[in-house]
Structure 1
Amino acid sequence: MSASVPAIRSVTARGLVVPIARPVKTAFSTIDAAPMVLIDVATDQGVTGRSYIFAYAKLTVKPLVHLIEEIGRELVGKPVAPFDLMKAMDAKFRLLGWQGLVGMAVSGLDMAYWDALGQIAGRPLAELLGGAPRPIKAYDSYGVVDPIADERALRRSLEQGFRGIKIKGGDGDAANDERVVKGVRALLGPDIALMIDFNQSLDPAEAGRRIARLAPYDLHWIEEPVPQENLSGHAKVRETSPTPIQAGENWWFPRGFAEAIAAGASDFIMPDLMKCGGVTGWLQVAAQAEAANIPMSSHLFAEASAHMLAVTPSAHWLEFLDFARVILAHPAEIIDGTVTARGPGLGLEWNEAAVATYLVS
């Protein structure tokens, strides 16, 4: 192997449950802490690539750690060549399929490979991919809110310069959704983008009724109104919706996006780096979005997403939901409502004291 091509020396995964400043209530449950897995891919050039993934539930933390380290044992000695490694993973898991935990593990590893390559080059990932870090317009992402009880928090978001706010819906009836949206719109004023996320909680008929009821409040998008796998349902809702439909955080790898785009499932798309195939998968999805003229936003992972949106032709919004702040030495910063990517690589460095505090034994 050429001395200029790094090889994988080891893969380490650590599970954490991290406190978050603002619990996120959805139509189904409340996220009051962030189950996470940190991934470290050490190379033979003395550089360690880092990434993290969000496990969604505490019960998946340990299985993800085990899965990543088992995959990692087979990667030792292989060149850090993300496209080749993704092709190998596709072949390895083709019969099993890689939605779910396998897909999360593969995507997380891919992000760590690219971080290592950026560090070795001494450049932010956005530069390595042919672009440059730049301020990316961000929206502040909330769970279910109450316009009165959460007024102070919402005003704080405006003071930070956010030009967009997302809230959750679907936890009550249509009248409750309208009450909340009406109150938040009055608080924000007409010039702030307001999005609502139903987290797949409605059927197409009910989604159509609620969207029509909320139309007077000038929503920027309606997110995941129906179950993510129901592409025809999304397309049906989109046909009659006066508000753009947003989806994609739960579509898996570039093939999933190709199917959704072909079905006409949404006006906008928002890949999740942990589900679309990491950096490698994102690049392919971004090419699809550009070809279809679809605005593309991010889901979670603000630090890495700022790099990817900087090289995405149809870049739209960056979601800011700061789950990782506690365990990062240099958390993402909001400046005038924007996030700018930092390097080298993804710009991730662990706060090891915090990691030790929240480690899952």
Structure 2
Amino acid sequence: MKITNVEVSITSEAKDHPVRDAIQLLDRNGHTTLTIETDEGVTGQSKIYFGREEHSPAVLAMIIERQLAPVIIGEDPAFIRGIRDRLRTLTDYQGTPGLSTFGMAAIDQALWDLQGKALGVPVWRLLGAQRSAIPTYAMVGWLELDIAGLERVSAKAMEQGFRGVKVKVGGGPLSEDLERVGAVRKVIGDDAALMVDANQAFDYAEALRRGRAYEQLGCRWFEEPLPAADTAGHVRLAEKLDLPIATGENRYGQAAFRDLIERGGVGVVQPDLRRAGGVTDCFEIGLLAAGFNIPYASHGGGAHIHVLAALPNTIYVESGLLPDDSPISLVDGCYPLPDRPGLAGWND
């Protein structure tokens, strides 16, 4: 089988309900969709999401069409890691982290999707599944919500069967964080998981001060307390707090996780499929973390569920609330694995 063509399309539109975290307003829905075609008629598809900035999908599409796609035409789509390494070499001069990695992730995911469809199985079977369902929590606590809104969405998450919720922090003073997180705790109860996410908003001193306060509320983890690249700061913070540090969604490729993991700067490894480079790198990051007995929780859901199914150290898949017309129901706070061939997720 050989790759014969790569098709790319884009969408970009304003969100009906923009959401806010400590550093940004996510006010758009944008996608760059990629389809890989072969000489045997089997295709693979992926979709890269953008939550803000109108022109990013088009810029990514240009990178794929003009730079990355020509390199893979004529290649055997089974050689996923070989293709990845060629694309890394190609993009090294301009800097692989950034939109180059987004493009590599699009190709990587489409290749895995293609392999699953060629063999008639979901990708988690190709990776070697460890479990048949994935524990999940709901990311519902956005900063544009007032206390009543937080209570409402948190209650709905528990009604839908999620094991816990995540709340954004850092948009105001610590007293505001404590009020918001405390209100959610009362709604979900003492036994449900409660995570806080600062989206890189703090310096070391403020992260330490707030982390100690979040510990008192029984939070499960403190996500992205510091700028993503500050490995030394993460190590220092992890040494001072009992509360696990979750981070990784803004690191690019497996290599960016090595020092962070080895030096003890992360308590929950949390890659993003787009920025990590796709299924291949996320799976390798997860295995690296497993070697150090560090748990793995995805940033986002969708296709990531296939990686989570196969890792020995998986603890959670991140999710939004279930749509009212969702065909999926949670069972014991878990998502079942998708059964369609390829890389389909539960929200595709």
Residues 22 and 98 (structure 1), Cα distance of their counterparts in 2 relative to 1, 3 Å cut: same
Alignment of 1:199-278 (within 5 A): 199-278=199-278
**2:28 corresponds to:** 33
Identity %: 30
TM-score by length of 2: 0.91
Find the counterpart in structure 2 of residue 77 from structure 1. Answer: 74
Could you tell me which residue of structure 2 aligns to residue 146 of structure 1? 146
> Which amino acid in the other structure matches residue 42 of structure 1?
E
Residue segments in structure 2 that go unaligned for 5+ positions in a row: none
Alpha-carbon RMSD: 2.3
Q: Which residue of 2 aligns with 1:339?
A: 335
Contact 1:197–1:225 (CA under 8 A) maintained in structure 2: yes
Deviations 1:126-160 (A, max 9, x none): 11122277210111112224332332222111111
Task: Find the residue that maps to 2:12 and give its secondary structure.
Answer: strand
Q: 1:315 to 1:204 in 2, by over 3 A?
A: same
**Structure 1 residues 348 and 184, CA gap change in structure 2 (3 angstroms):** closer
* 1:168 aligned onto 2:171: no
CA contact (8 A) 2:297 2:314 kept: yes
Structure 1 residues 98 and 294: CA distance shift in structure 2, 3 A: same
Q: Distance in 1 between matches of 2:95 and 2:113?
A: 26
- Aligned partners of 1:270 and 1:296 also within 8 Å: yes
- SS of residue in 1 equivalent to 2:235: helix
Per the alignment, residue 17 of structure 1 pairs with 12
Structure 2 counterpart of 1:181: 181
Mapped to 2, the partners of 1:259 and 1:244 lie a distance apart of 17
Residue 244 to residue 350, structure 1, CA distance change in 2 (3 Å): closer
CA distance in 2, matches of 1:95, 1:117: 30
The number of residue pairs the alignment matches comes to 340
Unaligned runs of 5+ in 1: 1-5, 352-361
Task: State the partner residue of 2:307.
Answer: 308
- Report the counterpart of residue 68 of structure 1 in structure 2: 64
Query: Greater shift after overlay, 117-126 or 55-64?
Result: 55-64
Match of 1:7 among 2, 15, 28: 2
Between 67-76 and 155-164, the greater mean CA deviation after superposition: 67-76
Structure 1 residues 101-116: aligned runs within 5 Å: 101-116=99-114
Whether the 8 Å contact between 1:332 and 1:339 is mirrored in structure 2 is no
- C-alpha displacement at 1:95, in angstroms? 2.6
The aligned amino acid for 1:8 is I
Q: Residues of 2 paired with 1:291 and 1:11: CA distance?
A: 37
1:7 and 1:197 mapped to 2: Cα distance? 43
**Displacement of 1:19:** 6.3
Structure-2 separation of matches of 1:99 and 1:131:
29
Looking at structure 1, the residues matched to 154 and 224 of structure 2 have their Cα atoms a distance apart, in angstroms, of 23
Equivalence for 1:136 = 134
Cα deviation for residue 122 of structure 1 reads 0.1
What is the CA–CA distance in structure 1 between the aligned matches of 2:285 and 2:327, rounded to whole Å?
24
Q: 2:84 aligns with which of 80, 83, 86?
A: 86
